[in-house]
A = this chain, B = another copy of it.
C-alpha cells in the first residue's frame, strides 16, 4: 500500500526515493511500476538490509532490481542534499515517531521532502494508527497542511501484525498539477500481475479508494486540521 497509493496516483512516475524501508519490501513493490527508471533508497541501518537479505529473501528481493541505488545514511541529511525537484515520488517507510525516527515526523523534514519533489510530485509517509495515535496524526496532518500546497489526505489499511491491526499513511502533493489521490490514474493491471510470478495479493484499485474512507471520529479530526 505505501508504494502503490502514491505511485498509482500520478501518471508515469520515473524517479522515486524511499526513506527507510531497508528490508526491501517497498523496493519490491515500487519495482512493479514499469515507468519507474530510478529507485533511490536511503536506509540508516545497514544491518536491516543484511538481516533482510539473510532471513527474508522474499522481501529483500526488491534489491535485485537494477534500478535500485542503496545509500546507507541518515534520511534527513540525504534529503537536504537532494537538488530541488528531483523526484516524482518520495516514500517514507519509517518506524514510530517516539524514538530515533522522531525527526521524520517534524516540519523541517516535510519541508525537505516538499523541496525534493517536482511540482505535482507526491509523498506517502507512514502515519500511525487511528485507534491508538489520533493525537500524533493530528500533528502530522497539521504540519503537512502547512507545508504541502497540493492535496493532503489520510489513508489507512489493515496489517494484522501491527498494534491495533491498522496503519495509516499521509498522502500529500506539492503545488502544481493537482493530484486526486482517491481515484488512481495509473492502475497496476490486475490481469498482468496475475500472470506474473509474484501477483499482487492485497492491493487493487478498489482497495486504493476505500483506504481514504475514514470512520467518523477520525474524519472529524483530520478534516478540521485540513482546512
> Residues of A at under 8 Å CB distance from B?
131, 158-160, 162, 164-166, 190, 199-204, 206-207, 209-210, 213-217, 219
Contacts and interface: CB of A to CB of B under 8 A. Distances in A.
Nearest to A209: B213
A160 B133 CA distance: 13
A202 B164 CA distance: 15
A127 to B, nearest CB: 16
What is the oligomeric copy number?
Answer: 2
A15 B164 CA distance: 35
A213 B206 contact: yes
Residue of A199, A215, A219 with most chain B CB atoms under a 10 A cut-off: A215
Given A158-B158, A164-B165, A165-B158, A214 B219 contact: no
A160 B216 CA distance: 16
A190 B204 contact: no
A159 B206 CA distance: 21
12 contacts: A131-B160, A158-B165, A158-B166, A159-B165, A160-B166, A165-B166, A202-B215, A202-B216, A204-B219, A207-B213, A207-B215, A209-B210
Given A131-B158, A201-B215, 12 more contacts: A131-B160, A160-B166, A164-B165, A165-B165, A201-B217, A202-B217, A203-B216, A207-B213, A207-B215, A209-B210, A210-B210, A210-B213
Contacts of A209: 210, 213
A188 to B, nearest CB: 10
Contacts of A162: 165
A131 B158 CA distance: 10
B210 A204 contact: no
